[in-house]
Each structure stands twice: as C-alpha cells, then as structure tokens.
Amino acid sequence: MTDSQDEAPTLEGRLRRLEEILSQLEADEVDLERALGLFEEGVRLVREAEGILSATELKVEELLSGGATAPFAEEDE
C-alpha cells in the first residue's frame, strides 16, 4: 500500500508522453506557443527519465504470504 511511485508518472508513462510530444512537434500540428510548451515539457521528461535510469541498485523483494514483502535474500555464490 506504500508504493511511492503510484502517484508519479512511470518511466513508461514519461517515454510514451515523449513520443507523443515528438510526433506532435515533428508533424507540426501545433501553434508556436504550444510548440514551445511541448519542447519544455519534453526536455523536462527526458531529464526525469534519465534520473530514473540512473538507479544503480536493483530492488529485489520477496512476496510473502499475506501480501507483505520482505527483502529477498539471494544466495551468494
């Protein structure tokens, strides 16, 4: 119940929005002011997506009976 990413758009959501923005900008179905807005939004989304990708530690959890999760203990070898 505490998925911190629930409210924020996901990586997929951001990338999809980026595709929309690009196709609109490149197809030129927008007026100038809107094009400027799209450009700024696009740059922001790229920065956010890069932020997500910069994560370095894979988060691995184990789903316990009852729905709770616990860190997954990997066997080292």
Contact string 22-41 vs other proteins (x = CB under 8 A): x--xx-x-x-x--xx-xx--
20 scored as a contact of other proteins (CB under 8 A): no
1 scored as a contact of other proteins (CB under 8 A): no
59 scored as a contact of other proteins (CB under 8 A): yes
Q: Which of 45, 50, 37, 38 is nearest to 16 (CA)?
A: 45
Question: Is residue 61 within 8 Å of residue 72, measured between CB atoms?
Answer: yes
> Distances from the Cα of 34 to the Cαs of 9, 16, 42, 48, 75, in angstroms?
22, 18, 12, 21, 53
**Residue length, the chain?**
77
Using CB under 8 A as the criterion, which residues of the chain lie in contact with other proteins when the complex forms? Answer: 3, 5, 10-12, 15, 18, 21-22, 25-26, 28, 30, 32, 35-36, 38-39, 42-43, 46, 49-50, 52-63, 65, 67, 69, 72, 74-75, 77
